Amino acid sequence: MKIIVPISNHQEVEMLVQNGADEFFCGFVPEEWLNRYGGLFWLNRRGPVSGNITDYDELEKLCREKDKFNIPVFITFNAPYYTDEQIVFIVKLIKELKETFNIDGVIVSDLGLIEAINSEIKNIRIHASSLMGIKNSYFADYLRAKGVNRVILPRGLTVEQVLTLRKSIVKSEIEVFILNEGCVFDECHCNTSHKTFGAFCNYLRNKTFKLEQRSGVLEGKENFQKKIDKLLSDYMEWVYYVNGCDNTLNEKGIPNGLCGLCYLKIFFDAGIDCVKIPGRSMSSFKKLISLQLVKALLDGIEQNKINESNISSHAKELRGFSEGCRKKIMCYYTYE
């Protein structure tokens, strides 16, 4: 099982490799894109600057470093969609990145772009982004026929669903989320933008939710309203955790945010190919400490020191047991 980690500059390469990174992913937004499309239409799911590399010099240095350590790097092109003109631009860019900088592959979310890459570029790995919402093997098989080597499963699946998909998706590698950044809404069907106002889910946190009765009779109104108020309060607490408790660290210095570490052994045994630590705009420190956490558990699993029955206690000890852990509101997955 590999660990894929976000990277933002060449200085992070050695540090992350030494601490167990097997693969890197990053965003690259060249100046030409900004000149053409301004700051409004993003080349990937992150803003033009935040979490992206923006100049060729830095990309060249990063790729030189990754080649030195023989670690693959994948560039993210996961905007919800691209126009014809943009696809032509991106295909040309990918060709250039592959030929000049020896990038190893791309992470893509638009079917049109996958079609274009498959017909225009040879010998490049394609990973289907979680934004494609792949929840069945029929979609994965279709993508495999289009040259997609790996599918990144969306957040929001149960452990059982991940295991079912592992059994039925036989032709492609599978990557799952394991630590940090979450989404309240289904990333595949969230038609909002993080631009200017931030994530829509986080934006809703301090808004007024007024209960509307759509049909039927409301019995025991007062008591019911209290229950709804409690449910809303639980919901807002969950939204807070999904958004990394406003990007804070816990008392052990570990980033707050979603976590699937308790299920790492199950995923390992099931043959999940790769676990992802998302967060391209995280600081180097957060990337490092998150990676060390996942790597420590994975090493324990590979050395048979950690099994299904003790992984939760190991994870909680390493990460620091928190209120979110107790209430199971910082879990990526449920497992009944």
Footprint on residues 36-55 left by other proteins (CB under 8 A): 37-41
Q: By C-beta, is 216 or 220 nearer to other proteins?
A: 216
Rounded least distance, CB 312 to other proteins, Å: 14
Rounded least distance, CB 157 to other proteins, Å: 6
Tell me the window of 212-220, 246-254, 277-285, 302-310 that interacts with other proteins (CB under 8 A). Answer: 212-220
Q: Angle, nearest 10°, between helix axes 11-18 and 56-68?
A: 30
Name the nearest CA neighbour of 152 among 301, 258, 4, 298. Answer: 4
CA distance 330 to 289: 18
What pairs with residue 2 in β-bridges?
Answer: 274
- Please give the helix or strand (H or E) that residue 75 lies within, else none: strand 73-77
Tell me the window of 4-12, 60-68, 154-162, 268-276 that interacts with other proteins (CB under 8 A). Answer: 154-162
- Using the rule CB under 8 A, is 221 a contact of other proteins? no
CA distance 330 to 252: 16
What pairs with residue 180 in β-bridges?
Answer: 258
- Using the rule CB under 8 A, is 161 a contact of other proteins? yes
- Using the rule CB under 8 A, is 153 a contact of other proteins? no
Q: By C-beta, is 56 or 200 nearer to other proteins?
A: 200
Interaction residues for other proteins, span 270-309 (CB under 8 A): none
- Using the rule CB under 8 A, is 220 a contact of other proteins? no
- Using the rule CB under 8 A, is 247 a contact of other proteins? no
- Using the rule CB under 8 A, is 233 a contact of other proteins? no
Rounded least distance, CB 144 to other proteins, Å: 11
**C-alpha 19 chain-centroid distance:** 20
Task: Single out the residue of 99, 209, 226, 317 in contact with other proteins (rule: CB under 8 A).
Answer: 209
Interaction residues for other proteins, span 57-116 (CB under 8 A): 80-84, 87, 110-113, 115-116
Q: How many CB atoms lie within 10 A of CB 18?
A: 11
Name the nearest CA neighbour of 76 among 123, 38, 31, 23. Answer: 23
Interaction residues for other proteins, span 108-137 (CB under 8 A): 110-113, 115-116, 119, 132-137
DSSP state, residue 41 = S
Rg (CA), the chain: 21
